[in-house]
Structure 1
Amino acid sequence: MLLIFSIFASSQVSDFQNINLQKADSIADFYHGESLTNLPLLSFKLTNDLTTPVEKFRSLHTWVCKNIENDYGFYLENKRHREFFQKDSIKLNDWNKSFQKRVFTKLLEDRQTICTGYAYLVMELANQAGIKCKIIDGYARTPSSNVKTLGIPNHSWNAVQLNEKWYLCDPTWSSGNIYPFGEVSKFVHQYNDGYFLCDPSFFIKNHFPLDTAWTLTGQFSVADFLNGPIVYNSAFRYGLYPTSPKSMQLKLTKNDSITFSFHTDEQIDANKIYFRLISGSHKITAVPEIITQDNGILILQHSFNKSGYSDLHIMIEDQVLITYTASVNRK
């Protein structure tokens, strides 16, 4: 099993850096709004003029992300019922079966769904194109889910086999974001390429599968998943992945300095990164010192000159990428 994991760990989009995916994206855009009533035909249209498996999968994945809406109200309804029935396996199973039918009906009729529908549609279209693809069920980590302790399984994504290797992607979180508009929350399409064939060592930051073989890396535990910093979708959009500190909870003494290390996919302008420390209604913005930025590694340093407890958000352009907590003692 360890040998399998060591092979899987290198599976990421950079394996295909010599293949131009623009044609695949263009085809997906050309068929925007195409009907879901005939999935074999849709899969054919999206892949017929493409040569390599990765191009074909890219076209299918991009089309799903840009044509299907995430129904947040539907997600909340499912979440409430699953939490209510979690101690009654019979009622929970009955709910899952009845809700699953509604998920697929809503997907086909309204082009709206939740993670299960996204993952199903990607899998079905890929399989129609002769590409092996699976639905992976597990835990997604957000500020309100799976922090310190595991809740109930709350997310689904995909694994796809390309050139005899398995890769990971999340079409739901690639498709856009949920934003508050007054008293309601609405979905806004904002394609996020960071989850497409993502490096497993980064994907695991906020995805943990029920079957741990699908971590595609053997060096990450449930404890690592629960206790690490919270990594938001925006971190994947910018290509900024924390490597240390590994624990979300920072315990410090006043005037201590701490270094934060990151892997960067893109050449991020480190000067745009800032820290926002929030303690109750009190907010402080701080600019970290850049120690190193070279060869995909970024190291920042910050000194904690005040005691107390705060949430430490690592930000770019008013977007939170990563969150730690800092408990600073006087001495």
Structure 2
Amino acid sequence: MKNVAIIGGTGYGAIELIRLLHAHEHMQVKKIISHSEHGEQLASIYPHLTDFIDYPMEELEIESLKADIDIVFFATPAGVSKQLIPKLEDSQLQCIDLSGDLRITDRSQYESWYGGGAAPQETLDHAVYGLSEVYREKVKEAKILSNPGCYPTSSLLGLIPALEENIITSHPIIIDGKTGVSGAGKSPTAMTHFSETNDNVKPYKIAKHKHIPEIDQYLSAVASEPIAVTFAAHLIPMTRGLICTMYAQLRKDISTKEVIDLYKSFYQSDPFVRIRAEGGFPTTKDVYGSNFCDIGIQVDERTNQLIIVSAIDNLVKGASGQAIQNANLMNGWDEQHGLNSLPIYP
């Protein structure tokens, strides 16, 4: 049994980690660390955890982590883990970062998109990008794991097979993304206020979203040439769920069935990616509360475009579920362990 600490214990990502780890046979949450709420019982903030977490949240103590913990999940905002993980690199701890601090390998790019200084280059060089289905073998050897963002998870899983098999051009690639309000985190803002989101669809951070350089970086690596996507994010009036509709130009004549067969072959060993039959497209309800990514595909012969629809739960496959999937791989466990539950429906 591996002992787990969660840093940033009161956010939605941490609460989802606790929910999923509760059913995990090989990991047990031993410390919940919160800068703002240490000393408090987590159930006083989240009553649904009453009788499940019976110890108070703690302040961060680096030496205590090194002595008592095996795996640390950083469910923190950007800017925190880049300061803490370098202090833990001399230990045997496995560090899994759910923030964006280690996803961008070019420090100047990070500073341009995120603001503030980037993580040390040595830490970035040691971090493995945890898109489990694509970098599985590297994840297995990782000690520092950078968990992908929610939009990149949906977008990359949708686009990488087509790029790798060279059936689409690298330009233009257009991604229309939509997410539920939990993607904005727990802290309330005017944008996430009920009266602003209810009965409303709101574009935000158009061409300026922090996930853009992450998508560009890993698509470029697959294509072996620079790729710059056009990405538009939208906030929609639901709690959780994320869906991306992607458009790319085809290089050759190919049928919808042929592309579907290609995707099924590409993901044949990946239990959490489900490819729809011809004419079928996923909805966010189809993956609600689960670690699945469901993908639907259509060739538009009229415009010679490939249209890909990719749906995930932003808090599970887009964050905490994928983090646990990566922890499973890092420790040689079945990657489905603790995650192989049916989606919640309706």
Decide which structure has the larger Cα Rg and report it.
1
TM-score (norm 1): 0.28
TM-score (norm 2): 0.28
Q: Which has the higher contact order (CA 8 A, sep 6+)?
A: 2
Is the strand fraction higher in 1 or 2? Answer: 1
